[in-house]
Amino acid sequence: MRLIAVHLPEKIVDDIERLVREGHYPNRSETIRIAIRDLLKRELWERSGLETVKIGEGKAP
């Protein structure tokens, strides 16, 4: 996995931390990975008919 750094508005970070605190996700990183995966799935992979690959399983489509 590659490490990337992003700047997020405080409100988004607070909301992510709330999801973790409430037990919806194990940590902030996993929350963000899932959000990005879902965005890519919706915007690219499903639209193009490509099969999705779970994050961390090698090449993404």
pLDDT at residue 40, as a whole number: 93
Question: How do the domains of the chain map onto residue ranges?
Answer: 28-61
Q: What is the pLDDT of residues 11-44, one digit of tens each?
A: 999 999 999 999 999 999 999 999 999 999 998 8
CA distance 2 to 51: 22
Mean pLDDT along residues 50-56 = 55
- Beta carbons of 31 and 51 less than 8 angstroms apart: no
